[in-house]
Structure 1
Amino acid sequence: MDMLDEFDVKIIKELEKDGRIAYSTIASNLKISNTMVHQRINRLFEQGIITGIKPILNEKQIGYDWASFTGITLNKDSDSERIIEALKEIPEITECYFVTGSFTLYLKITARNHEHMRKILYDKIDNIPGIAKTDSMVELGCAFKRNVSL
């Protein structure tokens, strides 16, 4: 955490509370200049520490009542780049990770209902050449999700 000083951490914590907060409000809350807040946030973006400020959707409120964590086994791991590009074309896949162990990739899939989930798994994912099998666990709700503590 050498790249972050106390002001960077305080600014990030303000943005975590409300990503829409005015920079002038952050400056006032932290008793620093508006210019300093602008410069710090710009630097945090340039360094890739902050990668974006966007809304966090509550999927259930917009009709997506089902989610799964799905492990994917590939016929050949060397096909992973092509398969990842195909997975990116499926909008219901919201996260994709490289993992160790039994699977090559691990996905988070969000669907409207069990029929929609079945179609995503069987009609979309299973039809991607190079995927040997999938193994899914249904998500029953998120206990919590957060950024790493600063």
Structure 2
Amino acid sequence: MTTLDALDEQIIRVLMADGRASYGAIGAKVSLSAPAVKRRVDRLRARGVVTGFTVRVEPAEIGWSTEAYVELFCNQRTTGAQIARRVQTYPEVVEAFMVTGDADALLHVFAGSMQHFERVLTEISAEPFVARTRSVLVLSPLLRRVQAPRTDVAADA
């Protein structure tokens, strides 16, 4: 586990809120010069803490207003790598997780309509490693957070 100091944590939080923020803008928020911020960001990237910069899109704004979580129940000899290889081919699957409990994996899916979701679910269900699925449709999101976890809390607390 990588240990971060308070300035690194602040820089990460600014980048998570706005991945396009300039080093100067970040520096103004964390009380560092732009070159000092750049050096820290470069170090964070070299250490693998920051792995890239991306754009977050509001799915509903691009017409993908149907949201669901799909539990995958897989055949016995299915690995996480096999699941990942196949589900990444579906642009509707925005996240995939190996999970505990009855299901083997959990997929977070966005679609443009119920018909679109049904088509994607049918295609995923037809994957050779899938024994069955169980879906939960999201009626409305209550809370979404995109932020760095606090590192000052004990991991086993």
Q: Same fold (TM over 0.5)?
A: yes
Partner of 1:113: 113
Which residue does 1:15 correspond to in 2? 15
Stretch moving more, 55-64 or 2-11: 2-11
Structure-1 residue corresponding to 2:88 = 88
Match in the other structure for 1:65: 65
Distance change (3 Å), C-alpha of 1:15 and 1:134:
same
Deviation at 1:136, TM superposition (A): 0.2
| Cα separation, 2, equivalents of 1:7 and 1:79 | 39
RMSD over equivalenced CA pairs, Å: 1.8
CA contact 2:80–2:98 (8 Å) conserved in 1: no
The amino acid that maps onto 2:5 is: D
Instruction: State the identity as a percent.
Output: 28
Q: Name structure 1 gaps, 5 residues minimum.
A: none
5+ residue gaps, structure 2, are 151-157
Q: CA deviation at 1:149?
A: 3.7
In the TM superposition, what is the alpha-carbon distance from 1:59 to its structure 2 partner? 0.5
Tell me the distance in 2 between the aligned counterparts of 1:17 and 1:82: 33
Task: Give the number of aligned pairs.
Answer: 149
**Distance (whole Å) between structure 2 residues aligned to residue 148 and residue 38 of structure 1:** 19
Q: CA deviation at 1:79?
A: 4.5
Residue aligned with 2:78, SS:
helix
Given the superposition, is the C-alpha separation of residues 116 and 36 from structure 1 closer, same or farther in structure 2, using an over 3 Å criterion?
A: same
**For residues 7 and 63 of structure 1, do their structure 2 counterparts lie closer, same or farther at Cα, with a shift above 3 Å needed?**
same
Q: Which residue of 2 aligns with 1:139?
A: 138
1: CA distance, partners of 2:96 / 2:144? 16
Secondary structure of 1:82 counterpart? helix
Deviations 1:37-80 (A, max 9, x none): 11111111222222222111110011011011010001114344
Instruction: Name the structure 2 match of 1:128.
Output: 127
The 2-side partners of 1:2 and 1:74 are apart by 34
Contact 2:99 2:106 in 1 (8 A): yes
Question: Matches of 1:118 and 1:85 in 2, distance apart?
Answer: 21
